[in-house]
Structure 1
Amino acid sequence: MGEFDDLLKANHDYAATFDQGGFDGIARAGVAVVTCMDSRIQPLEMLGLDLGDAKILRNPGGRVDDLTLDALVIAVHLLNVNRIIIAPHTRCAVASNPEAVLREKLDASTGQDTSWLRLPITSGQETSLASDVVRVTSHPLISSDIKVGGFIYDVDTGLLSQQV
Structure 2
Amino acid sequence: MNFHDDMLERNASFSTTGFKPDLKMMPSTGTIVVGCVDPRVDPANVLGLKLGEAAVIRNVGGRVNNALLETLAVLSVVGAAAGRPGGPRNLVLLQHTDCGIIGCYRHAPAVLAKYLDVESAALDDMAITEPHKAILLDIATLKTRLELPDGLMLSGLVYDVKTGLVETVAAPAPLRTLAD
Shorter-chain TM-score tier: 0.7 to 0.9
TM-fit CA distance, 1:144: 3.0
2:101 corresponds to which of 94, 99, 105: 94
The aligned residue for residue 21 of structure 1 is 21
Q: Does 2:133 match 1:136?
A: no
Q: 1:9 to 1:98 in 2, by over 3 A?
A: closer
In the aligned structure 2, how far is the partner of 1:124 from the partner of 1:46? Answer: 20
Kindly indicate whether the alpha-carbon contact (under 8 Å) linking 1:26 and 1:52 is maintained by their aligned counterparts in 2: yes
Change (3 A) 1:150 1:2: closer
* Residue number in structure 2 paired with 1:147: 153
TM-score under structure 1 length normalisation: 0.75
- Structure 1 pair 44–123 and aligned structure 2 pair: CA distance change class (3 A): closer
Which SS does the other structure have where 1:21 is aligned?
A: coil
Q: What TM-score do you get using the length of structure 2 for normalisation?
A: 0.70
Q: How many residues align?
A: 152
- Structure 1 CA distance for aligned equivalents of residues 64 and 11 of structure 2: 31
- 1 or 2, which has the higher strand percentage? 2
Question: Could you list the per-position Cα deviations for residues 92-135 of structure 1 after superposition, in whole angstroms to 9, with x for gaps in the alignment?
Answer: 1113x36343x4xxxxxxxxxxx667455725433332221122
Paired with 1:3 and 1:15, the residues of 2 have a C-alpha distance of 18
Asked whether the 8 Å contact 1:137–1:148 carries over to 2, the reply is no
Q: Which amino acid aligns with 1:138?
A: T
The structure 1 residue matched to 2:132, chosen from 98, 109, 126, is 126
Note the C-alpha offset of 1:74: 4.1
Residue matched to 2:173: none
SS of 2:150's equivalent in the other structure is coil
Q: Which stretch has the larger CA shift, 29-38 or 124-133?
A: 124-133
**Partner Cα distance (2:39, 2:11) in 1:** 18
- In the alignment, the residues of structure 2 paired with residue 14 and residue 157 of structure 1 have an alpha-carbon distance, to the nearest angstrom, of 29
User: Which residue number corresponds to residue 119 of structure 2?
Assistant: none
Contact 1:84–1:148 at 8 Å: present in 2 too? yes
Conservation of the 8 A alpha-carbon contact between 1:36 and 1:58: yes
Q: CA RMSD in A?
A: 2.8
Task: Give the corresponding residue for 2:43.
Answer: 43
